[in-house]
Amino acid sequence: MKELIQKAASLLETNVVQVVIGYGKGSADRTRAIFSTTAADCEQLIFDSRCIQNLAVYLTKAEIKKMGKPAIVAPLPVLRSILQLAAENQITDDSLVVLGVSPESELIEFESLAAIETYLATKQIAIEEKYQTTIKAIKAMPVSERFAYWVKELEPCFKCYACRAACPLCYCTRCTVENNQPQWISVASHSLGNLEWHIMRAMHLAGRCTDCEACYNACPMGIPIYLLTKSMLQDVSENFGTYGPSLHRDNTLSSFNPDDKESFIR
């Protein structure tokens, strides 16, 4: 992508940014995140269908912040995560330069986070039919059967936390799973411990998850954790009328409306 390389190099040469977060060649046939600090480094930038890692995960990392102002290569899932991070006051207009990449692999330069929101309004998150069918079937199960289903699906989880590390919206400096006084979540990878971990993760991401699937792609065991986050997206949409990131909306589960239909609010 020559245009992307040229733009990234020019941003570094003019010192508008000090690092460009993008995709480069990885091991075997994979791609990986690369951090270019010189125009020459930018020659390593690539973009193709293998670039599925959500690079927005690096925007909140202390090690990256130390490198200076970043530019970031941002296909749709990354753009959505950037918007959500902005809505959560983690980034501002002047803290980064966004090098958007359209689904047609064209470079899009955004003047502001608001411009990203306008662009994304025409590219709403759409949960594929096959996932909707599976989620519907799981929800239709009797509670005991659904419980057994998740215990079995989550059984291979050994709590490596790669899913958490890959998620741009899991940016707490200390995750509740590392808290041991008191120990809210069991450390062990037994049925209860795995359920606790995954329910907690899904709830923390409710109304925030941007459906990028980076968590699932990072899981070495191939556990279909996307079913939890996609289902939560649907639930939030149906119950709160919100779907996808927005700069003009409070966080779904940490705000309330005095006119809420539930009685707890009165």
Q: Summarize as ranges the residues that interact with ligand SF4 (CB under 6 A).
A: 54, 157-163, 166-167, 169, 205, 209-215, 218-219, 221, 223, 225, 229
Nearer to ligand SF4, 158 or 256 (CB): 158
Return the amino acid letter for 172.
Answer: C
SS3 content of the chain, % helix, strand, coil (to 5): 45, 10, 45
Least distance from C-beta 39 to ligand SF4, angstroms? 31
Distance CA 25, CA 31 (A): 5
Least distance from C-beta 17 to ligand SF4, angstroms? 24
Nearer to ligand SF4, 97 or 214 (CB): 214
Nearer to ligand SF4, 17 or 219 (CB): 219
SS (H, E, C) 165-180: HHCCCCCCCCCHHHCE
Nearer to ligand SF4, 44 or 179 (CB): 179
Nearer to ligand SF4, 71 or 83 (CB): 83
Least distance from C-beta 101 to ligand SF4, angstroms? 17
DSSP 241: -
Nearer to ligand SF4, 96 or 169 (CB): 169
How crowded is residue 196: how many other Cβ atoms within 10 Å of its Cβ?
16
Burial of 99-123, coded b for 16+ CB within 10 Å and e otherwise, reads bbbeeeeebeebeebeebbebbeee
Alpha helices for 68-190 (secondary structure H): 76-87, 113-120, 129-139, 143-154, 162-166
Least distance from C-beta 203 to ligand SF4, angstroms? 11
Least distance from C-beta 219 to ligand SF4, angstroms? 3
Phi/psi-derived region of residue 207, left when phi > 0, alpha when psi is between -120 and 50, beta in every other case: left
Contact criterion met (CB below 8 Å) for 210 and 245: yes
Least distance from C-beta 83 to ligand SF4, angstroms? 12
